[in-house]
Structure 1
Amino acid sequence: MSQRFYAVLIVAVAALFFIWNSLFVVNEREQAVVLRFGQIQRVVTEPGLYVKLPFTFANADSVQMLPDRLLRSDIIDLEVQVSGGARYVVDAFMVYRIEDARKFRNGVQGGSLEVAEQRLLTRFNSAIRATYGQRSFDAALSAARAEMMVEIRDQVRPEAAALGISLEDIRISRTDLTSEVSENTYSRMAAERLTEAERLRAEGQVQARQIRATTEREASELVAGARRDAAVLQGEGQALRNATLAGVYGRNQEFFEFYRSMQAYQNALGTDGPSMVLSPNSDFFRYFKNDGIGGATSSVAGTAPAAPVQGAGEAATPAPAAPDAAPAAPNAAPAAAEPAPAGTPADAPAEAPAATPTPTQ
């Protein structure tokens, strides 16, 4: 009984061993390559439980599991040089998947995913360097960046297709200047900004001088025009004043001569005036004689007239009783009479006060 039990136990264990060695499971994230003595028998891409020949230990049938999902490989801190000689530090990655497991197994030694990834990264590195080397310094930082990624992808795809790999996408995640290039770039940008500031400052100074010159010219024109208008108005007022005085004094020519003589006496015989030696019979003292307009009886030189001048605006003047009557002694003076300038001829009166003296009876 014991021998039979052990025999049955051995058979059961052997059966379980053969069954376990003949079955394999493929999940949804994998694909299986079934090999028999190193040759590919079939590729299983659908998830499930599958059967193969046992004796895996003797290489009768073996199963290699390969990923059936998107894979990613990164390049970090890759230093590239552009056409102008400047250098960038680039980070990039590629996304791919094993599309043809049979081709992948035959193209890659032992079907190693690490070997395939290394080959792709080597080609990816070369494509990045070639693409950046054909561009200018600022191309990677402009709208041409998308075009550069497409160009890199197209260069790597043939290599990936030869390995049974489908290259889905390539992205450049970072493009930075090296520290040396960054310092030079910042220095150049600062110099350009300073130059621009100096240019704007110079243009502002030029505009300020132009505005100042225009303003000064306009101010000079305004002042000159105002002075011209003032001179015109002053001349018109002076002409009107002279015409008014001429009309007033023209009414009595004898009174005008007497008034001007009184002004001359005031200027010549004042206390602060110069000393003069004149004959009493001089025509200058004609109004000090009996036949003068004022009827004065004094005949001595230097004697004041009967009605001496009291101030700059007052003068003693007689009023004739009738045009044909003899002059009488003055008994009244015009109120607030303003003297005319000395030296004006009797028949053409010059400047005189605006107020017209009016003789009284």
Structure 2
Amino acid sequence: MNNRLIIIGVVILAALYVFFSSIYVVNEREQAIVMRFGQITDVRTEPGIYFKIPTDFVDTVQVIEDRLLRYDIANMRVQVSGNAFYQVDAFLTYRISDPRLFRERATGQLSVAEARIGASLDAALRQVYGLREFSAALSDQRGQMMAETRDLIRPDLANLGIDVVDVRILRTDLDADVSATTFERMRAERLAEAALLRARGQEQAQSLRAIADRQAVEIVAAATRDAEIIRGTGDAERNRLFAAAYGQDQEFFEFYRSMESYRNALVNTGTTMILSPDSEFFRYFGSNGELPAANTNLAPPIQPTAAPITQQPTDEPALDGLGIEETTVPSITLEDGSELTPTQGTEIPVPAEEPAAAPAQ
């Protein structure tokens, strides 16, 4: 009885082993290759439950990925046209499209396939970057570069049964040496531009300063000229009035001038004068306070008229009537097209007007 149970148990275990070793499951993310004594007999790409010869001595099954796979490459140093270098990060997405060819060419191992993928991606990126100038990878040519890299890799990896879906460039940075050189070049360009703007500003400042100095000299000269003309005209008018007054009443004029002399000479200045009482200076001191008799034979009054202020005529262009030539104000044009013009802060004084005529007496 016990032997029979043991035999039944062994038979059941053997049947279970044969059953489970004769089936295999392929899910939706996998593909399966069935091999008999190392030779490929079948390829299963659809998900489901399949049967094979029991045990793994005759038929063996190798599972192959059916998902999109990714291969990354980082800190790759590539050279562009002009002997400059970039640091590049990129990745590639692929799918195993032919499991039979993948088994025959890459033994069905992803490690073997990725070694080939890495070499192909490296060579393709170097070729694409090497055909372009330094700034191409940072411009709108980036998409075209990725498409060219993908097209270069596809034929090579198709021999492994791999279909390249896409190639993407994640990062393109300047190499450390190139970055330092580029920074120094940009710094030198900015310094040169700043020096140019500073020189142009100094040139404009000197021009404006020269114009302002010339205008100041001309304004002062014009004002001095007008002042001298007015002063001379005033002196002439004063002398004319004195002469008219003297002509009307000589005695009163002499009395008035004597009083003015007393007031100006005898002020409280501490000055001591010793003069003879009979001197002409004290002529009116001996009158006992009596005023001289009024002159009844007066000359007719003379109406004072102001002497006109005359200026020398000139044919030169003038600014505000002061003989200052108009000057084109310099300006500075910046890189953005805007212009800087100096402010006009010099105010020209108004020319002196002719004095009003004195009222008639």
> Which bin holds the TM-score, normalised by the shorter protein?
0.5 to 0.7
- Name the residue aligned to 1:358: none
Using the TM superposition, give the Cα deviation of residue 136 of structure 1 relative to its aligned residue in structure 2, in angstroms. 1.8
Report how many aligned residue pairs link the two structures: 284
- Name the residue aligned to 1:161: 158
Q: Residue type matched to 1:73 in 2? A: Y
Query: Is residue 13 of structure 2 the alignment partner of residue 13 of structure 1?
Result: yes
Using the TM superposition, give the Cα deviation of residue 66 of structure 1 relative to its aligned residue in structure 2, in angstroms. 0.8
- Contact 2:245/2:253 (CA < 8 Å) preserved in 1? no
Structure 1 residues 317 and 169: CA distance shift in structure 2, 3 A: farther
Using the TM superposition, give the Cα deviation of residue 69 of structure 1 relative to its aligned residue in structure 2, in angstroms. 1.2
Within 1, Cα distance between the matches of 2:294 and 2:281? 14
- Name the residue aligned to 2:172: 175
- Name the residue aligned to 1:142: 139
Within 2, Cα distance between the matches of 1:34 and 1:28? 17
Larger Rg belongs to: 1
Q: Residue type matched to 1:83 in 2? A: S
Within 2, Cα distance between the matches of 1:85 and 1:306? 108
SS in 1 for 2:133: coil
Within 1, Cα distance between the matches of 2:110 and 2:284? 136
Q: Residue type matched to 2:125 in 1? A: I
- Contact 2:106/2:160 (CA < 8 Å) preserved in 1? no
Within 2, Cα distance between the matches of 1:322 and 1:241? 24
- Contact 2:78/2:86 (CA < 8 Å) preserved in 1? yes
Query: Is residue 296 of structure 2 the alignment partner of residue 304 of structure 1?
Result: no
Using the TM superposition, give the Cα deviation of residue 71 of structure 1 relative to its aligned residue in structure 2, in angstroms. 1.1
- Contact 2:27/2:47 (CA < 8 Å) preserved in 1? yes
- Contact 1:33/1:42 (CA < 8 Å) preserved in 2? yes
Structure 1 residues 305 and 181: CA distance shift in structure 2, 3 A: closer
- Contact 1:258/1:317 (CA < 8 Å) preserved in 2? no
Within 2, Cα distance between the matches of 1:155 and 1:35? 33
Structure 1 residues 161 and 318: CA distance shift in structure 2, 3 A: farther
Bigger relative CO (Cα 8 Å, ≥ 6 apart): 2
Q: Which runs of 4+ in 1 moved over 6 A?
A: 256-263
Equivalent of 2:244 in 244, 247, 253? 247
Equivalent of 1:104 in 97, 102, 105? 102
Percent of aligned pairs with the same residue?
Answer: 48
Equivalent of 1:82 in 74, 80, 83? 80
- Name the residue aligned to 1:195: 192
- Name the residue aligned to 2:29: 29
- Contact 1:93/1:170 (CA < 8 Å) preserved in 2? yes
TM-score, scaled relative to structure 1:
0.66
Q: Residue type matched to 1:50 in 2? A: Y
Using the TM superposition, give the Cα deviation of residue 202 of structure 1 relative to its aligned residue in structure 2, in angstroms. 1.9
Within 2, Cα distance between the matches of 1:317 and 1:128? 125
- Name the residue aligned to 1:49: 49
The CA deviation string for residues 144-194 of structure 1, in whole angstroms up to 9 with x for no partner, is: 333322221221122233333222222222333333333333333333333
Task: In structure 1, list runs of 5 or more residues that go unmatched.
Answer: 267-301, 311-315, 324-354, 356-361
- Contact 1:160/1:167 (CA < 8 Å) preserved in 2? yes
- Contact 2:128/2:145 (CA < 8 Å) preserved in 1? yes
Equivalent of 2:209 in 212, 215, 222? 212
Within 2, Cα distance between the matches of 1:305 and 1:186? 97
Using the TM superposition, give the Cα deviation of residue 129 of structure 1 relative to its aligned residue in structure 2, in angstroms. 0.7
Q: Residue type matched to 2:96 in 1? A: I
TM-score, scaled relative to structure 2:
0.66
